[in-house]
A and B are shown apart, each in its own frame.
Chain A
Amino acid sequence: MIYRNIERHASRFKDYTELRIHENRSLGIQILNGDVLSNNRESGAGVSARVYRGGVWGFASAPFLDDAAIGRVIETATQNAQFLSSREKRGMGPLPMAKASAAHDLSSPKPRGNQEKYLGFARALDAYLKEKHPELLSRSIYLGTLEVEKHLLTSEGSVSTLLVPRTVLYLSASREAKNASKDRVEQGHVFGGGGHFEEHFGDPAALFPGIEAVCEDLARKAEGDHAEAGEHEVVLGPDLAGILAHEAIGHTVEADLVLGGSVAGDFLGKPVATELVSITDFAHTALGAPCPQPLWVDDEGTPARDTVLIENGVLKNFMHNKETARHFGHEATGHARAWSFSDEPLIRMRNTAILPGKSRLADMIASIDKGYYLEQPSNGQADSTSEFMFGVTRGREIRGGKLGRALFDATVSGVAFDMLKTVTMVSDDMRWESGGMCGKKQPIPVGMGGPALKCRIRIGGR
C-alpha cells in the first residue's frame, strides 16, 4: 500500500470535500512473431481533491503524496469551486449524505512472480505456437497487468482503501483463408480477468489446450464465409450478452446520460424487454461469487450497492452519483469512479450482467433452423437511442439446428430496447468477462457478464 492514515487530513476540509490518493501500476509485454516489441512497466501516483460548493465542483490534482502537496491540492480545489460558484450563483443545497468505511486488498495470497517470470511465460506460449502451428502467418501475444490502489477520505467521514488487480492475456494468430474473397483470417482470444497473474496462470502448459482451441477456431474460420446481411434469428453467446448489457443497456441508464437525453429516461417502470430478461449492475458479489471488478465504497464515499436495472423485462433503476440521485429523488447507488488520480469521478458501471435463465444452450441452438451462433465480440458502441453495434470475431452458421461453417469477422447491430423484446430463450449458465476498458471521457476497467440469449439481430455483410 502506498499510503496510510489518510484520516489525518480531515481537518484541512472547509466545504464538502473528497480527498483521494491513488496509484495505477501496470506491466505490458507485447510479442509479435517472437520479437518482444514491448517489455514495459508503468506507474502513476498522486493526490486529488474535489470540493462542492453551491451546485458546482472544484477539482485539483498533483503527482505528489507529501503533506504540503496534499494541502496545496485541497486549497486549489476549494479555490476552483469558489471561482465557479461565485460566477454561476446556482444556490444548490447540500448533496445526499453518505458515510461508509471499507478496506479491501485483493492481492493474491500466492507468492508473487516478477517480470522475468511473466516475460518467460509469454515467450513460452509464443514458442509453443511457433512449434506446433507452422501454418500461422502471424502470432501475437499481449500480457498486461493492472493494479489500481485508492485511498479515499470525505468530509462526511467516509474512509476507504481498495486495491484491485487485473491480468489480461490477449493471444491472436492469423493464417491463409481458403475463400477467394479473403487472403487471410485472424482469430484472437482473451484469457485472465480480475486478480493477479498468479490467480490465472502458472505453468504455460496449462494454457496449451486454450491455445489449441483458438487455433481450431482459426482453422475453421479459414474455411468460413461472410455472414448474409440482414436480420436473423441468432444465439448470442455469453460474451456478447455481457457487452450488450454494458453497452446497449448500461450506458443508456447511467443517470448523467439520462439527463443528457438518453431514450431510457422515458422508460422507467415500463416494460423494455421480454419477461425473461433481468439485468443487474453488481457492486462486488454476484450470485454468491466475487465480481471481477468489485467495489465497496465509490469515489464519493457512497456505499456501493447492487442496482437492478431491468427486472423481468421492466426498467427499474438508473445508476447514480450523489448529484444525479438528488436530481431524480433516488438513492445514490455508488457508481462514481475515477480512472486516475488526476480524474474526477464519473458515473461508471461496475459489473453489469444479464441474469441466467432456464434454457440449455444446446436446445437454443437446436431450436433455430437458419441463423447464427455469435460467440465472441471485439469492440462495441452504443447510442443515446440504445442503437448498438458490436464487432463479432467468432461465429458459426446454424442450419437445421446444427452448427455449420464459421463466419468471417462481422458486425451486428440493433436497437436494444427493441431487440430485447425478441428474446425468447435465456441459458441457465453465465460467464464474466473483464478484459476490456470502458471509455467515457476516461477509461476504466469493468466486468460484463451474461448467459446465452436467443433473439433476432441485424448482421452486416455482403
Chain B
Amino acid sequence: MEHDLILPAVLAAMEAAGADASQASLSLSAKTELNIDAGKLSLLRTTESCRLGLTAYVGGRKGSLGLNRLDEASVKAAAGEVVALARLSPPDEANAIAPAAPARFEEYGEATPDLAAMYDRFKEFLDWEGKALPKTRLEQCSLEHLGSRWFFANSNGVDLRDRTALYHFGGMFTTKDGAKSSSFNYSGGAARSLDKPLKDWGSMERLMRQSAEQLSPGTVEGKFTGELLITPDCLEDFIGSLNGQYLGDGCLIKGSSPFKSRLGQVVASPRLTLRSAPRSLAAGRFYTPDGFIAEDCALIEKGVLKQFNLSHYGARKTSLPKSPNMGGLWVVDPGTETFEELLAKVGRGLLLCRFSGGSPSENGDFQGVAKNSYLIEKGRLVGPVNETMVSGNIGSLFRDISGISRERIDFGMAVLPWVLTSGAVISGK
C-alpha cells in the first residue's frame, strides 16, 4: 500500500471492526552503518525497516499490535485482530487517545547518507587512535546514518508526520599492555552532520585517553562515606534511575515514587535544574508516541519539582499533570564552577566515570561498582581504582549536590555537566 494511505485505511478498518477509538503509527527507516570489530573496519550494513503499530479501544478496553507487513491483506487482518485483543482486556477509564489538533509535518537532517564521508571519518578516527593510543583497542564501534519517516493518526483527527535523519557514533574500547587490561569504556553521540572528527563526539577522546592510564588501578582501603564527582557520561545513568523510580509512569501508577505527593516542593539541591529537551537537541523528537506535540520542559527547576514524566495514560491514571514530552533527551543547566574548582572541593571521594550497578530499589537505594573511576583525596586525583563499590540513594544524591560544573558535554542525545554530591558509602578491599 502507498504509505500515505495506510493509516487512514487502518483507522477505518479498526472502526469497521468495532473500535470506538483508535490510533496508529507507521515508522519507516533506512540505516547505513559502518562497523569496526576488534580494531578493524569489518562491515558495511544497510537495512530497511518498517513497523505499523495499531491501538484499538472498545468501551475503555485497549489492545495493541505491531507488525512489519504493509500489504493490504495483512493490514486489514491486523485491524481486526487488534480490536479482538481490545475486547479481551478489562475496561480502564484512563484509556484515551489524544484530542484533535491541527495536522503537522516537521523535519531535520540530511536525508541521504554521505557514505564516502562516513568512510573517511571512520578511517580518520582509526588512524588517530592507532597513532595517539597504540595500546587502546576498539572492540566494537559503529557509525550509522539513520533516516526515518514517522506517521501518526488517531480517530480524533490527529495527523502528525515527520522526517528525520541523524548520524550516530558509538565505540567501546579497552587498553591492553602485555597481560594487563583496563576496564572497557565507551562513548559516542548523535549529530545531524559529519562536520566534527569522531574523536570529538561525546567524551570519546577524553575517555580513550583515560583508558590508557587505567592499566594498573589501585584499591580503596576499607569503607568510608565520601563525595562523588560524577562525570557527564555517568550522570545520565543516575538521571535514568531518577526518572524510573521517582518521575515516570511506572513508579507513579504503582504508587512507589518517593516524589508522588511532592509536586511544587523542593526535592533536590537548589543548584539543580533538570530539563527534558526534545526540541533543543540534535537527536530531538517532534512528537510523543501517544500523539502530542513534544515541547521542552523543566522537571526540576532550582531544586523544585515542576513536572512529572507522565504519558497521557499515566496522567489520567494518577490524576497528575501530563508531561509536555516523553522524557529523555536530558539537559542539566550549567553551574558556576569549573571542573577543577569542583575537584579542589573534594576531601575524599571518587571521580565516578562509569557505574555498573543493580536496578535501584523502589525507595531509590542503589549499589554498584565504580568503573574507570579515580580516587580523590584533598582535592587531587590520586589515581584509577578498581574493585570499589558505591552505595547510596538516588533521591539523596540529587538533594546533596554541592556543585555543578560550567563545562558540559553535548552528546546530541543529552547535554550534561560534572556534578559534585556527597553521602555515598564507598567501599574497597
Contacts and interface: CB of A to CB of B under 8 A. Distances in A.
Interface of A: 32-46, 48, 56-63, 76, 80-81, 83-84, 87-88, 90, 115-116, 119, 123, 137-138, 140, 174, 182-186, 229-231, 256-257, 259-263, 265-266, 324, 342, 344, 378-379, 381, 383-385, 387, 389-392, 408-411, 413-415, 441, 458, 460-462
Interface residues of B, number: 77
Contacts of A342: 31, 47, 49
Contacts of B361: 182, 185-186, 408-409
Nearest 6 interchain pairs by C-beta: A391-B358, A260-B139, A261-B174, A259-B38, A460-B367, A411-B367
A379 B355 CA distance: 13
B253 interface: yes
Interface in B38-87: 38-51, 62-69, 81, 85-86
A441 B140 contact: yes
A230 to B, nearest CB: 7
B65 A57 contact: no
A260 B210 CA distance: 17
Given A36-B92, A39-B89, A60-B45, A174 B362 contact: yes
Interface in B169-190: 172-176, 179, 181-184
7 contacts: A60-B45, A90-B40, A260-B140, A260-B174, A383-B356, A409-B365, A413-B389
A37 B311 CA distance: 12
Contacts of A32: 250, 253-254
A61 B88 contact: no
B175 A56 contact: no
B66 A43 contact: yes
B357 interface: yes
B4 to A, nearest CB: 18
A186 B37 CA distance: 41
Contacts of B68: 43-46, 63
B174 A33 contact: no
Nearest to B181: A263
Nearest to B28: A63
Contacts of B40: 90
Interface in B122-157: 137-140, 142
Contacts of A324: 38
A392 B184 contact: no
Most buried by B among A45, A259, A261: A261
A427 B238 CA distance: 38
Nearest to B93: A35
Contacts of B138: 260
A164 B378 CA distance: 57
A461 B358 CA distance: 12
B369 A389 contact: yes
A115 B256 contact: no
Contacts of A116: 88
A174 B361 CA distance: 11
Interface string B153-165: 0000000000000
